[in-house]
Amino acid sequence: MKLSIAIPDSSLVDEPTQMSKTLKISQIARACAIFQVDTIYLYHEVGGSERDRSLLRTILRYLETPQYLRRLLYRKMDELKFAGSLSPLKIPSHLQTAESRKIKAKDIREGVIVFARGKKYIDVGVDQLIPYYGNDEEGKRIIIQFKEGFPNFAIKQIKKEEIQQYWGYDVKESANLSALLSSWESTIIFTSRKGKLIHKTQKYFDEIMYGNILIVFGSPKRGIHEILGKTLHNVQRSQVLNFFPDQATETVRLEEAILGTLAIINILTRK
């Protein structure tokens, strides 16, 4: 099963300061990392601003980037003003040694292509640069696997899909939710307190557990029914589900909804 989520660019509208917005994004990123979300889609929604969209995009991507590559890929910018308060994801792609002597054959690392001494190298966060003979340009982030470890480094470039363990999420953007839904060719789950109660859906999850699933969340101000209106019922291969039956709070915050929903799906799809 491959999980993706869709959240609106108005996700931060209920947060009064950039600090609180930053912390909310950090919680979303952590939830996605815990439950191995493949892609986070940002869709435009009424109430969303370009500033918040930029903040979401930048911080989500920054958190997914291995720490040893961040200085190479991110310049000083206002969106990262409170980056020091962010909780690290500590996913497999981040937990890497900085000592070249500990590199072994079959190890996988991410790196950035750099130009030095008239040649191209890849910086993989160890105490020496690795020669790079591929076609990608300087500044490109790539994934490599060591064919030979220390001291005779030999590498091959690989794709994320070739890695068996979880290697982080991608962040993609959509002009609006309707455009995203029309391009999605597999299962769609809408989250709403007006949906079918989750404890009545085990058979449904048994049927979809091996496919690609897109989980769609509404905004702090408008739910899925308000965003899509009558078109909600015309979306193919979709279900509207209530993951929080009998909730005692007036609302469930987006970061809470994401964590809770992913946790429940994780249980329902385990065999």
**157 and 174 assigned to the same domain:** no
* Strand ranges of the sheet holding 2-8, from the earlier edge strand across to the other edge: 170-174, 37-43, 2-8, 212-216, 187-197, 238-242
* Residue finishing a domain among 132, 162, 192: 162
The Cα–Cα gap between 94 and 154 comes to 21
**What's the pLDDT tens digit per position in 207-251?**
998 999 999 999 999 999 999 999 998 999 999 999 999 999 988
Radius of gyration of the chain (CA): 21
Two tokens, residue 70: 């961040």
Residue 60 and residue 193 in one domain: yes
Q: Which domain holds residue 13?
A: 2-90+168-268
* Dist CA 222 CA 206 (whole Å): 30
In a domain, residue 177? The reply is: yes
What mean pLDDT is reported for the chain?
94
| Residue range 19-52, pLDDT digits in tens | 999 999 999 999 999 999 999 999 999 888 999 9
Do the domain assignments include residue 95? no
Q: Look at residue 271 and tell me whether its pLDDT is greater than 90.
A: no
Residues whose CB falls within 8 Å of the CB of residue 246, separated by 6 or more in sequence, listed in order = none
CATH of the domain at 153: 2.40.50
Instruction: Let me know whether 178 and 70 are in one domain.
Output: yes
179 and 263 fall within a common domain: yes
What is the number of domains present in the chain? 2
CATH number at residue 46: 3.40.1280.10
Q: How far is CA 52 from CA 18, 28, 173, in A?
A: 9, 14, 13
| Dihedral (CA of 218, 221, 227, 232) sign | positive
For residue 198 the two structure tokens come to 């989750």
Rounded to whole angstroms, how far apart are CA atoms 194 and 184? 23
**pTM of the shown model:** 0.95
> Could you tell me if residue 110 is inside a domain?
yes
